[in-house]
Amino acid sequence: MSSKDIGNQAELLAQTHLENAGLIVVEKNYHSRRGEIDLIMVDNKVLVFVEVRFRKSTRFGSALESIDHRKQSRIIHTAQYYLQQLTTDYSGYRFDVVAIDSAINIADIVWIKDAFQMT
Asked if 90 and 105 touch (Cβ cutoff 8 Å), the reply is no
- Give, as one character, the DSSP assignment of residue 103: S
Please state the domain extents for the chain. Answer: 3-116
Q: Does domain 3-116 have CATH number 3.40.1350.10?
A: yes
> Tens-of-pLDDT digits for all 119 residues of the chain?
777 777 788 899 999 999 999 999 999 999 999 899 999 999 999 999 999 988 765 555 556 666 788 999 999 999 999 999 998 889 999 999 998 876 665 567 899 999 999 87
Distance CA 39, CA 19 (A): 11
The per-residue DSSP string of 48-88 comes to EEEEEEEES--TT--TGGG--HHHHHHHHHHHHHHHHH--S
Asked if 96 and 111 touch (Cβ cutoff 8 Å), the reply is yes
pLDDT value at residue 38? 97
